[in-house]
Amino acid sequence: MAIKVLIVDDSGFFRHRIEEILREDKRVEVVGSAVNGKEAVEKARDLRPDVITMDVEMPQLNGIDAVRIIMRECPTNVLMLSSLTHEGARITLEAMEAGAADYLPKDIRAWMDKSQSIRQQLIERILALGTSRRFRSGSVFEHRYPRSRASGSSTMVFRPESAPSPRAGQERTAAADARRTVAPRPERESARAPSQSPALRPRAAEEKDPPTSQASRVRFPDCRLVVIGTSTGGPAALQQILTQIPAEFPYPILLVQHMPKTFTQVFAERLNQQCKIAVKEAEDGDRLKPGTALLAPGGLQMMVDPRQTDRVRILEGDVKLTYKPSVDVTYASAARAYGSRVLALILTGMGADGCDGARLLKREGATVWAQNRASCTIYGMPQAVVNAGLADEILDLEDIGPLLAQQRRRG
């Protein structure tokens, strides 16, 4: 069955261009369009689309207010169209907090030039949104946004910037290390068996949800660094986790979220205002400090400095790497610098970034926690780790923050 899409934009050009792209794919059906937020709410109720593309600035009712009403009355996947400016980032993150699931840059030049990249990104997002489990019965999102007349699904994919890099040698080495890494040796896995989830065996993608770990029985590892990687749905997940952590949290935290440069700066500022711990967009040479989370800048790579392991290096993105920032790169550098003293979390996201880095971490004896399917916006990145047999625990999003909040420094 085709994914039903409602297009909302006060610009005739953008309505026509989006519809033109979507009609090229037989997996998608455009069921209607709206020119303002008020009409969008009405058509969302009547047409029950799987996905809505939503402009921000519109007459009568803007995109953010329209999202709030839609999420209250007929929760549906919403893909925001946003400019890559500081203000555009701020507004888009407000829309995400209101319940929107994803965004796409509204770069008029790329859309007018009929960029193949724009076409690919739009189709990719629509398909992911239309097949997500976000609002299915029993999901955490369904409880947050209970359905009245319509059902939907959701995702968020922040596509990073991709500037070429003249000085990314260390970054390429980290990524190559992660790719070359083989699965953990049997004796290493056997030694860690008591703390592992029963779901560690590789699982086929079509299998049912793996069992959720009971937070009360999870053993927190003897770590010195926490590294969290995420993409689709990550901003909401990170906000939920980080706002529960006390200011005296004993370990430094590294955050990798697929997101462009302008967005990571605004996102870090918002998290810093909302959290008890300090959160900042990482800069080259920043120190790793207890109770401080460093967010990888969009379009760049963040690594633990191999020569000064209490600092991070920020390197320009390598055009050969898909994700900038990349979870694999940060995981790999943490494995080399801290070995078994790393707790790595892989959260909601589309794709498999983080799986190769998790292999390297496991080879060093580190601990890996994966978010469970039921609480993910998109169960892609965690599923890749679980299917590879690399997850020590499979946890519901609601359990992760409290588990971190309970920790005290050891020895």
Distance between CA atoms of residues 379 and 203, nearest Å: 13
Distance set, CA 126 to CA 48, 91, 102, 304 (Å): 15, 21, 10, 35
Nearest residue to 37 via CA among 96, 80, 83, 93: 80
- Catalytic residue, chosen from 258, 328, 333, 392, is 258
Determine which one of 177, 318, 353, 399 is catalytic.
353
258 in catalytic set: yes
Cβ contacts of 295 within 8 Å, gap of 6 or more? 255, 257, 264, 267, 268, 271, 279, 280, 281, 282
DSSP string, 86-110: HHHHHHHHHHHHHT--EEEE--HHH
| In the block, residue with structure tokens 């629509």 | 126
Question: What are the two backbone dihedrals, phi and then psi, of residue 179, each rounded to the nearest 5 degrees?
Answer: -70, -35
Measured at the CA of 339, the angle between CA 333 and CA 344, to 5 degrees, comes to 70
Crossing angle (nearest 10°) for helices 169-180 and 327-338: 80
- Estimate to the nearest angstrom the gap between the alpha carbon of 83 and the chain centroid: 20
CA neighbor of 331 nearest in space, from 347, 307, 350: 347
Residue 289 has, within 13 A of its CA and on its CB side, a CA count of: 13
Q: In this structure, which long-range contacts are made by residues 181-186, counting pairs with CB atoms below 8 Å and at least 24 apart in sequence?
A: 181/356, 181/359, 181/360, 181/363, 182/359, 182/363, 183/359, 183/362, 183/388, 183/389, 184/359, 184/362, 184/363, 184/390, 185/363
- Active site residue: 139, 213, 231, 333, which one? 231
Query: What is the bridge-based pairing of β-strands 312-316 and 300-304?
Result: antiparallel
DSSP secondary structure string for all residues of 57-89: S-SSS-HHHHHHHHHHHS--EEEEEE-SSHHHH
The residues facing 203 across adjacent strands are none
**CA 382 – CA 156 distance, rounded (Å):** 15
- Of the candidates 256, 244, 234, 211, the one whose C-alpha atom is nearest the C-alpha of residue 398 is 244
Decide if 16 is catalytic.
Answer: no
Active site residue 33: no
Residues annotated as catalytic (active site), given as ranges: 231, 258, 353
